Chains A and B, each alone.
Chain A
């Protein structure tokens, strides 16, 4: 069966510090991978998606970047965090046969102080 993991689960970072959130998927190959962000009390915002290794599409211009160094690995990064980067970050995947069914990870809660 397929599983998705992301880490760390929680982190507190000072403004201006770097960020690296990692997501891995097991049990499937060539998944579509997504990063979403949810600010407190708000809906989910699609940040990046990837259809393959090295292929990244950005939905919202911002302080963040994403990379996909391996088929089942998706990384969200920032060189210098802003206060507005605080939120709940979710990694998700689906396959071509999923017709839109997304499978989400456990989430990473980032607080920038």
Chain B
């Protein structure tokens, strides 16, 4: 399983764009890159997923360079409600039919008014 490395914490002011970068040097060919958001005492919630280049949805963008050894989650104009822990995961089929997804420690984003 590919191991991921991301900053432990980040602070940002409201209205700013936040970029969280994740390193995954050992990503496998069939691995996808997925980002989750977790609020206290809740299960993580899927934000965005990509394989290569750029993916954008209504809440975030995901930038993946050609070598796929890192990825950057971009949150436009954050608000206080974006304060949460953000996890970067890489994973694919384990060969036994399930997706093996390993969560790291995540990045705790604190949005300051």
Contacts and interface: CB of A to CB of B under 8 A. Distances in A.
Q: Answer yes or no: do A and B interact.
A: yes
Interface residues of A, number: 29
Query: At the interface, is chain A mostly helix, strand, loop or mixed?
Result: strand
A44 interface: yes
Interface string B82-113: 00000101011000111111111110000000
Interface stretch (B13-21, B40-48, B71-79): B40-48
Contacts, number: 66
B41 A109 contact: yes
Nearest to B44: A104
Contact of A102 (B42, B44, B96, B105): B44
A43 B42 contact: no
A49 B103 contact: no
A100 B92 contact: yes
Contacts of A42: 105
A6 to B, nearest CB: 9
B111 to A, nearest CB: 19
Interface of B: 32, 34, 36, 41-46, 49, 87, 89, 91-92, 96-106
A106 interface: yes
A44 B44 contact: yes
A8 to B, nearest CB: 14
A101 B49 contact: yes
B41 A44 contact: no
A88 interface: yes
13 contacts: A42-B105, A43-B104, A43-B106, A44-B44, A46-B100, A46-B101, A49-B98, A57-B96, A90-B44, A100-B32, A101-B49, A102-B99, A109-B41
